């Protein structure tokens, strides 16, 4: 229960404003909590007179807590390639490992892995546990989850990180639940508190409208999925030393009740909007499916992926995997070009962390300009073709 | 065909904003709504029921007022509703939530399929579906965008990946989490509204589901929120000026290093 110290409360109302759940009211100039409170703790921090507190029972700390050490990352491998986010995980993993003076390891699962493990070492891993088996050709939550769980139980890393991708966000919750430990999704910032080795995991919530820092104090490992393109990749060093361990899972642990029948790639170049450096997005301003061809041409010219607002997806000008926003994907490329998109909050939460945002819209008051680094007020049917032309010209085409 | 749909009542995220200066929530009457993804989960369940017969039970863990989203679900075609509500559940993270929902579903009884939304728009974790499947020891598929076949004892579907989709077969009973592309949810029917009004919603307390007090709510949670703050926006609102040609030139100069 949220405790309110009536003596301390000055009735300022800041907590009332802070509560997302409408659970605090001011009655006779003191804060009163009602039954809507779900103990999220947002208010405790904001009270300047420290009148608010949440009483927690002393929790049992996992008995072998001190035995867990080292950082482990899950290296995602698909279609013959290590996913870029895995190298980013090695970047942050190296940083955390160096701080803890503990090793950094990677778990690599798949079929026909080639030299992938060597790359992971060159990017910072001290050890790679790999399983190269035809049974792992397709990703399945159960087989990948079981194996990762087993490696974690044996190696006891204090921190386990995976990419917040369609794969990572699907099977890491299974692993965390099996290990009876906490998991924080889609982190954008990670740091270890040196006093006690607790991982401070910061992530957006409420569609990016607020940020929250989360701890997992009582159990190990501390697990997080990390948003792609946020962490920096460590430099590649082909001469780095490291150990490759061919891990042997028990055969029954490689089985999955769910069977993948087929793996279908879609317009590969332009659809993977979560990993590209550049995204060109189109909205209702494109008018029709034909208009969207313009977006595709611009994306081609800049070597980017194609994104879309929900209005464009709902009009069936482009498929849902391209949708950016609250009910689509969250992206943060180096460059995001929004064409004919008004900038509704549900769209903006999905792209506002992009490094550079360009907005092209004929309405000078469109909210998209509030988040834009560079804005062009104009007709996209005039601006975009010019842009394409100039880019080609500059390249001498 | 018994289908259970997990539904969460959430504050409408678009209304939730922290003032970066005061770190307080600029909250102009945040409305509580049915989690948008759960609407699609419900719709898919009702469609399956209409095609293959059976029953749809909606279940929600939350405070008493979460009853509203359950009634709304019934007006859109669900048959039965269960509210899992107890002060002791407050403060649950996804670990404690999956434990609680798992216990509640076991009490509801036999089922063929559990359907969840991809994620809830308050926490955006997408962890409850997979975690719940583990609790119930059933297979699961996340990010389902299409159910293609309903076979005897199995279901075929398309699962969204970052670069395309997988065609998958999952044996039943199992659990799915769905993306919004899967369907267009219907609006409540008049008959449904009447039914929703009259329906008696079953309520399960912690004791009813025989929950271990150490596994639920705040005390059962493995994670803890220690700080909440406003995100930093980078928008500089540099509007380019001049003719279209000039603007395009300026823009290219600025973005050339990235290209
Ligand atoms: C629960 C919920 C979830 C949602 N999730 C998402 C989501 O994930 N992603 C998302 O994008 N939206 C989402 N939305 C929808 C969102 O609220 C907006 O409706 C949507 O983003 C609008 O898309 P748009 O900007 O393309 O269209 P509009 O708002 O119609 O804007 C079109 C813009 O194009 C401009 N324009 C028109 N013609 C031209 C031209 N010739 N040249 C230049 N500019 C032109 C107009 O000035 C206008 O600003 C969600 C809504 C809800 C309620
Ligand atoms: N308290 C809850 N009651 C019922 N269902 C829930 C609850 N929390 C989460 N869910 C379900 O789990 C999905 C994912 O939620 P989350 O993991 O919180 O993002 C939601 O779309 C719901 O289907």
Give the pLDDT band of residue A275 (cuts 50, 70, 90): confident
Q: Ligand 1 in contact with A327 (CB < 6 A)?
A: yes
Rounded to whole angstroms, the Cα distance separating B13 from B144 reads 23
Q: pLDDT at position A360, please?
A: 97
Which of A209, A282, A285 should be mutated for ligand 1, with most atoms under 8 A from CB?
A: A285
Contact B195, B204 (CB under 8 A): no
**Residue in B61, B46, B170 with CA at minimum distance from that of residue B107:** B61
Contact B141, A261 (CB under 8 A): no
Residue A24: both structure tokens together: 């605090």
Q: Ligand 2 in contact with B129 (CB < 6 A)?
A: yes
Q: pLDDT at position A305, please?
A: 92
Q: Out of 3.40.309.10, 3.40.190.10, 3.40.50.620, 3.90.1150.10, which CATH number does the structure's domain A63-254 have?
A: 3.40.50.620
Average pLDDT value for chain A: 92
Q: Out of 3.30.70.20, 3.40.50.150, 3.40.50.300, 3.40.50.880, which CATH number does the structure's domain A2-54 have?
A: 3.30.70.20
pTM tops 0.80, yes or no: yes
> Would you call A206 and B166 a contact, using CB atoms and an 8 Å cutoff?
no
Instruction: Report how far ligand 1's centroid is from the alpha carbon of A284 (Å).
Output: 6
Residue A259: both structure tokens together: 């069977």
DSSP-based three-state secondary structure for A97: helix
* Minimum CA–CA partner of A376 in chain B: B240
Q: Ligand 2 in contact with B34 (CB < 6 A)?
A: no
pLDDT of A21 over the 90 cut: no
Overall fold of domain B2-224: Rossmann fold (3.40.50)
Q: Ligand 2 in contact with B115 (CB < 6 A)?
A: no
B185: left (phi over 0), alpha (psi -120 to 50) or beta: beta
Partners of residue B183 in chain A, C-beta under 8 Å: none
Q: What is the pLDDT along chain B (259 residues), one digit of tens a residue?
A: 899 999 999 987 666 666 555 555 555 556 889 999 999 999 999 999 999 999 999 999 999 999 999 999 999 999 999 999 999 998 899 999 999 999 999 999 999 999 999 999 888 899 999 999 999 999 999 999 999 999 889 999 999 998 889 999 999 999 999 999 999 999 999 999 999 999 999 999 999 999 999 999 988 999 988 888 877 665 566 889 999 999 999 999 989 888 8
Q: Touching check for B10 and chain A: CB below 8 Å?
A: no
Contact A85, A226 (CB under 8 A): yes
> Would you call A394 and B252 a contact, using CB atoms and an 8 Å cutoff?
yes
Residue from the list A19, A45, A206 with its beta carbon closest to the beta carbon of B13: A206
Overall fold of domain A268-394: Rossmann fold (3.40.50)
> Would you call B95 and A177 a contact, using CB atoms and an 8 Å cutoff?
yes
Partners of residue B166 in chain A, C-beta under 8 Å: 138-139, 260-264
Q: Touching check for A12 and chain B: CB below 8 Å?
A: no
Q: pLDDT at position A394, please?
A: 87
Q: Give A337-362 pLDDT, tens digit per residue.
A: 999 999 988 898 889 888 899 999 99
Residue A285's contacts (CB-CB under 8 Å, 6 or more residues apart) are A291, A339, A340, A341, A361, A362, A380
Contact B179, B160 (CB under 8 A): yes
Residue B19's contacts (CB-CB under 8 Å, 6 or more residues apart) are B25, B26, B230
pLDDT of A151 over the 80 cut: yes
Rounded to whole angstroms, the Cα distance separating A242 from A103 reads 10
Q: Ligand 2 in contact with B45 (CB < 6 A)?
A: no
User: Which sequence spans correspond to the domains of chain A?
Assistant: 2-54, 63-254, 268-394
In eight-state DSSP terms, residue B20 is T
Q: Strand A335-339 and strand A374-377: pairing?
A: unpaired
Q: Is the ipTM of this complex over 0.90?
A: no
Q: Give A361-375 pLDDT, tens digit per residue.
A: 999 999 999 899 999
CATH fold match for the domains A2-54 and A63-254: no
Token match 């926006």: residue? B233
CA A216 to chain centre: 18
Partners of residue A355 in chain B, C-beta under 8 Å: 258
Rounded to whole angstroms, the Cα distance separating B190 from B172 reads 33
**Residue in A296, A279, A291, A271 with CA at minimum distance from that of residue A347:** A279
Residue from the list B11, B126, B221 with its beta carbon closest to the beta carbon of A20: B11
Q: pLDDT at position B21, please?
A: 56
């Amino acid at each position: 229960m949220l405790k309110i110290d009536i003596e301390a409360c000055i009735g300022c109302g800041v907590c009332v404003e802070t509560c997302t759940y409408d659970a605090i009211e001011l009655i006779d100039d003191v804060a009163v909590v009602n039954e809507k409170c779900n103990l999220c703790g947002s208010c405790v921090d904001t009270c300047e007179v420290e009148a608010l507190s949440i009483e927690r029972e002393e929790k049992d700390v996992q008995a072998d807590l001190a035995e867990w050490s080292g950082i482990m990352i899950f290296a995602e491998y698909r279609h013959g390639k290590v996913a870029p986010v895995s190298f980013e995980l090695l970047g942050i993993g190296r940083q955390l490992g160096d701080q803890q003076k503990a090793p950094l390891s990677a778990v690599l699962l798949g079929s026909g892995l080639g030299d992938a493990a060597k790359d992971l070492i060159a990017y910072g891993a001290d050890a790679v546990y790999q399983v190269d088996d035809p049974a792992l050709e397709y990703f399945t939550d159960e087989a990948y989850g079981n194996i990762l769980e087993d490696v974690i139980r044996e190696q006891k890393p204090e921190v386990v990180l995976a990419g917040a991708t369609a794969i990572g966000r699907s099977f890491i919750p299974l692993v965390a639940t099996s290990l009876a430990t906490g998991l924080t999704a889609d982190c954008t910032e990670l740091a270890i508190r040196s006093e006690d080795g607790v991982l401070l995991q910061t992530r957006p919530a409420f569609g990016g409208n607020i940020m929250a820092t989360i701890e997992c104090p009582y159990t190990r490992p501390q697990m997080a999925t990390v948003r792609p393109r946020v962490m920096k990749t460590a430099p590649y060093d082909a001469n780095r030393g490291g150990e490759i361990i061919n891990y042997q899972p028990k055969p029954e642990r490689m089985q999955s009740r769910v069977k993948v029948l087929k793996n279908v790639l879609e317009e590969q170049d332009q659809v993977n909007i979560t990993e590209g450096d550049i995204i060109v997005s189109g909205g209702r301003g494109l008018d029709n499916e034909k208009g969207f061809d313009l977006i595709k041409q611009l994306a081609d010219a800049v070597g980017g992926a194609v994104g879309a607002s929900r209005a464009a997806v709902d009009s069936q000008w482009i498929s849902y995997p391209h949708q950016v926003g609250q009910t689509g994907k969250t992206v943060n490329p180096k460059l995001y070009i929004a064409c004919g998109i008004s900038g509704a909050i549900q769209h903006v939460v999905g792209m506002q962390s992009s490094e550079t945002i360009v907005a092209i819209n004929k309405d000078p008051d469109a909210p998209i300009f509030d988040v834009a680094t560079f804005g062009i007020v104009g007709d996209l049917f005039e601006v975009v073709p010019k842009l394409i032309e100039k880019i080609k010209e500059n390249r001498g085409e | 065909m018994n289908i259970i749909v997990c539904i969460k009542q959430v504050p409408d995220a678009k209304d939730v904003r922290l003032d970066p200066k005061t770190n307080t929530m600029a909250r102009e009457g945040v409305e509580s709504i049915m989690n948008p993804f759960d609407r699609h989960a419900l719709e898919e369940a009702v469609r399956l029921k209409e095609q293959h017969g059976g029953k749809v039970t909606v279940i929600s863990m939350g405070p008493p007022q979460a009853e509203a989203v359950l009634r709304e679900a019934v007006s859109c075609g669900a048959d039965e509703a269960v509210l899992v509500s107890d002060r002791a559940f407050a403060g649950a993270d996804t670990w404690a939530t999956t434990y609680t929902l798992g216990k509640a579903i076991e009490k509801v009884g036999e089922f063929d399929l559990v359907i969840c939304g991809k994620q809830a728009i308050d926490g955006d974790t997408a962890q409850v579906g997979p975690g719940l499947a583990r609790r119930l020891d059933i297979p699961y598929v996340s990010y389902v965008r299409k159910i293609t076949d309903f076979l005897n004892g199995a279901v075929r579907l398309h699962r969204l990946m970052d670069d395309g989709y997988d065609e998958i077969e999952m044996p039943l009973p199992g659990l799915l989490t769905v993306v919004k592309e899967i369907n267009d949810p219907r609006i409540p029917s008049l008959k449904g509204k009447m039914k929703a009004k009259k329906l008696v919603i079953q309520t399960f307390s912690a004791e009813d589901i025989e929950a271990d007090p150490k596994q639920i709510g705040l005390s059962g949670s493995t994670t803890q929120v220690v700080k909440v703050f406003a995100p930093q926006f980078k928008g500089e609102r540099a509007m380019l000026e001049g003719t279209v040609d000039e603007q395009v030139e300026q823009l290219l100069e600025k973005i050339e290093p990235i290209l």
